[in-house]
Structure formats: C-alpha cells, structure tokens
C-alpha cells in the first residue's frame, strides 16, 4: 500500500461550508490506492492518482444533484419485476438503445472521460458506483452495439469495481444493485476477474431465497468463467476485434448456449435462455448447411406438416432455396433445403442441426 501523508491546512475550500470528515476522506484515498502495487506503479498511474486525489480533496462530497442523477439511472435500470429487468438488460432492443442515447448520452460521455470517478469511492452513497458502472458497462453496450466502443471503458470500469470491493462498498448494496458490479467482471477477458465474479456471486447466492430470480445468474456467470478459462477470451468478440478464430472457436460459436452476445429470453418452461436472432443465425448456417446436408425424406415430410415456422429466413438462387426456422418450443433450429430441378420440389430437413437455445 502506498504511504499516505496528511498535512493540515488553514485554507478553506469554496466547495463546502463545513470541513469534510477526515476519516471519510482517508477511506476514499485508500480506495483510490487499491490495486496499484508499489513496485508496478507507472508514471501514468501516478499521474492519474494525483489527479484523483486532487479532485477528492477539492470536492470531497457528492452533491444532491449527483445523487438525483444516479437515482435516475437506477430507476431506469432496476424494475420491480425481474422478468422486466432481464428484458431491459439483455433484450438488445433498438428502442431501449435509442432511449439511452436520448436520456443518458451526455453523462455516459462524462463518465467515460473519468469525470465521475469520485462516484466510485463515494462510501457515504454506495449506489453512486452502481450508476457509474451502468454508464460505463451497460449503457455503452447499448449505445455502441456491435462495435469496439462497447468495450472501450471495460478495464477502467473493472478497476473501479475491484478497488471498491476491496474496501467492502459492495456489501452495502441491494442484490439487484450488486449484480451490475458482477456484470462488469463477467464482461472481462481476464480470467482472474471471472473468478472473482463467480466467487462474489456465490457469496450473494447464499443469501438469496430459493425462488429468487437472481439465481439465474449462477449459470450466466459460470458459463462466462468456463469460456474464458478455456479460450482465454470471448470468441464472439473476435469479429469485432478483427481476431482470427481457431477451429475450436468456430465450433464454439455455433453453440447458442454460450453466445453471450445474443438476447436473453424466457422460454415456455420459465427458464432463462440466450435466444438466437434469426438473421444472425442465417449468416452462420448458410455455409454450414451445405456441408452437413442429409437426405431425410421422412423428416422432410414431417417438416411440411409443421405449422410453427415462427421465424423463416434465407435466400434463393436459380438452383436452390435454403431457409431455416426456429422452433421456440424445443429450442431447435431446423434447416430446410428446397431444390429446384426437373423433379417435383423436394424438401430436405437437417433435423435439429443446431441447438441454439439451452436452459441454464
């Protein structure tokens, strides 16, 4: 830990009428210093630390306006119904993205520039760090969906969370609030962050009721940990980062049970699942279906009789028309190949070729 020297001063601050609580200030300084080993501190670390401590000593208290701003973020993101929360958090709705741009873009920009860093060590108002990580982790994913901008502030945000946890700020949060700190860690490609996330979740889980909807996060966090432990990264980000897939990652990307970039849905049995978007899936299956084609006349006839073609996508050329549908009842994706030749139109179904939606 870095040594902390406190010098007395007779100068008054124009920010507050009363002198700040010295112990509270020192606690915040300790939080700032967490995670920066003495033997690894770089010049940039020292510069950032100096700037943060200067901000802390000149404006040590969170203003009522800032508290109201943070509360508006929590009111937006934390809804009474857990089902509504999951739809908002993971539904990947264009309408939600546009609303966040409209209502929160300015504050997301300020938070991204570090102007709200003091929220991360506001021990007197623990909810401030929740709002801060929502700006940096959740809202950026809404605003910059499908681009590197989603991940720009991930390391900074994870740093905020880890140093706050070392000081125990997270112990003052409600379970739904704490989940947002854990989501920051589960988004990290650092395996130690993943392990910390799952460890902290298990501690939270031990305090939840047996029917608490937050129990669904056990599967989510464990799967993130498993993926990073196996691949050292999230393969579904390779396209965005322009990283080449390994053959193993190619196979992995066909498994919807681990595709964290997909929307979350609640199926008929009540289980929380990652549901594949039809157009996204079509891009993946278009080439695969050609190499795994099977002549299953009996299954094809059954396919003709089915009436639950809930999602039908594909393209047509002079030789064949390849489409697929997603059966929401059993979570299977079926590929149908229609061949145009001299014989009557024949349907081939690659039955249950890809399972794209598994229960946790």
Final residue of a structural domain among 172, 196, 231 = 231
Query: Is the domain of 83 the same as that of 162?
Result: yes
Q: Exposure string (b/e) for 167-185, b if CB count within 10 Å is 16 or more?
A: bebbeebeebbbbbbbbbb
Query: Is the domain of 291 the same as that of 225?
Result: no
Residues contacting 259, CB < 8 A, separation 6+ = 236, 253, 274, 276, 356
Q: Work out the end-to-end distance of the chain between its first and last CA atoms, rounded to an integer number of angstroms.
A: 41
Note the pLDDT of residue 34: 58
Contact present, 134 and 177 (Cβ < 8 Å): no
Note the pLDDT of residue 42: 61
Structural domain of 218:
62-231
Query: Is the domain of 104 the same as that of 165?
Result: yes
Is residue 28, in this structure, part of any structural domain at all? no
Query: How far does Cα 167 stand from its chain's mean position?
Result: 24
Query: Is the domain of 129 the same as that of 207?
Result: yes
Is residue 148, in this structure, part of any structural domain at all? yes
Query: Is the domain of 213 the same as that of 304?
Result: no
Dist. CA 36–CA 155, nearest whole Å: 14
Final residue of a structural domain among 231, 262, 289 = 231
Note the pLDDT of residue 307: 34
Dist. CA 162–CA 150, nearest whole Å: 20
Contact present, 319 and 334 (Cβ < 8 Å): no
Query: Is the domain of 165 the same as that of 310?
Result: no
Element (H, E) at 327: strand 320-327
Dist. CA 227–CA 241, nearest whole Å: 17
- Please state, for a pLDDT cut of 70, what percent of the chain lies above it: 54
From residue 239, alpha-carbon distances to 76, 136, 213, 261, 276 in Å are 31, 22, 33, 12, 17
Note the pLDDT of residue 345: 33
Note the pLDDT of residue 196: 98
Dmax (CA) of the chain: 96
Is residue 43, in this structure, part of any structural domain at all? no
Note the pLDDT of residue 349: 34
Exposed / middle / buried, residue 280 (Cβ in 10 Å: 0-12, 13-18, 19+): middle
Number of domains into which the chain is organized: 2
Positions of the chain with pLDDT under 50? 1-19, 276-360
Query: Is the domain of 217 the same as that of 298?
Result: no
3-state secondary structure of 346: strand
Contact present, 134 and 180 (Cβ < 8 Å): yes
Note the pLDDT of residue 153: 96
Is residue 23, in this structure, part of any structural domain at all? no
Dist. CA 186–CA 219, nearest whole Å: 12
Q: Rg (Cα) of the chain, in Å, rounded? A: 25
Query: Is the domain of 299 the same as that of 208?
Result: no
Residues in the chain: 360
Query: Is the domain of 135 the same as that of 213?
Result: yes
Query: Is the domain of 124 the same as that of 184?
Result: yes
The pair of structure tokens assigned to 287 is: 């080439």
């Amino acid at each position: 830990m870095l040594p902390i020297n406190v010098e007395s001063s007779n100068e008054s601050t124009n920010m507050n009428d009363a002198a700040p609580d010295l112990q509270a200030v020192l606690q915040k300084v300790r939080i700032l210093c967490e995670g920066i080993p003495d033997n690894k501190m770089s010049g940039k670390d020292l510069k950032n630390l100096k700037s943060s401590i200067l901000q802390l000593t000149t404006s040590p208290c969170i203003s009522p306006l800032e508290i109201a701003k943070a509360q508006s973020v929590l009111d937006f993101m934390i809804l009474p119904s857990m089902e509504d929360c999951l739809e908002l958090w993971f539904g990947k709705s264009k309408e939600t993205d546009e609303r966040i741009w409209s209502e929160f873009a300015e504050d997301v920009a300020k938070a991204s520039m570090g102007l709200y860093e003091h929220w991360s060590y506001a021990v007197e108002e623990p909810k401030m760090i929740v709002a801060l990580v929502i700006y940096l982790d959740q809202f950026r994913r809404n605003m910059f969906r499908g681009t590197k901008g989603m991940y720009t502030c991930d390391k900074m945000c994870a740093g905020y969370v880890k140093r706050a946890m070392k000081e125990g700020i997270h112990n003052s949060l409600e379970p739904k609030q704490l989940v947002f700190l854990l989501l920051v860690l589960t988004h990290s490609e650092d395996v130690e962050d993943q392990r910390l996330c799952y460890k902290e979740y298990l501690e939270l889980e031990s305090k939840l009721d047996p029917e608490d909807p937050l129990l669904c996060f056990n599967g989510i966090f464990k799967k993130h940990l498993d993926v990073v432990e196996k691949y050292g990264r999230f393969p579904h980000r390779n396209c965005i980062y322009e990283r080449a897939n390994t053959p193993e990652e190619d196979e992995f990307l066909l498994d919807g049970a681990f595709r964290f970039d997909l929307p979350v849905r609640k199926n008929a049995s009540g289980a929380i699942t990652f549901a594949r978007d039809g157009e996204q899936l079509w891009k993946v299956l278009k080439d695969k279906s050609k190499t795994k084609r099977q002549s299953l006349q009996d299954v094809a006839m059954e396919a003709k009789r089915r009436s639950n073609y809930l999602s039908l996508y594909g393209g047509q050329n002079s030789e064949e028309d390849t489409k697929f549908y997603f059966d929401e009842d059993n979570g299977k994706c079926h590929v149908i190949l229609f061949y145009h030749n001299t014989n009557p139109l024949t349907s081939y179904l690659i039955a249950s070729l890809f399972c794209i939606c598994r229960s946790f």
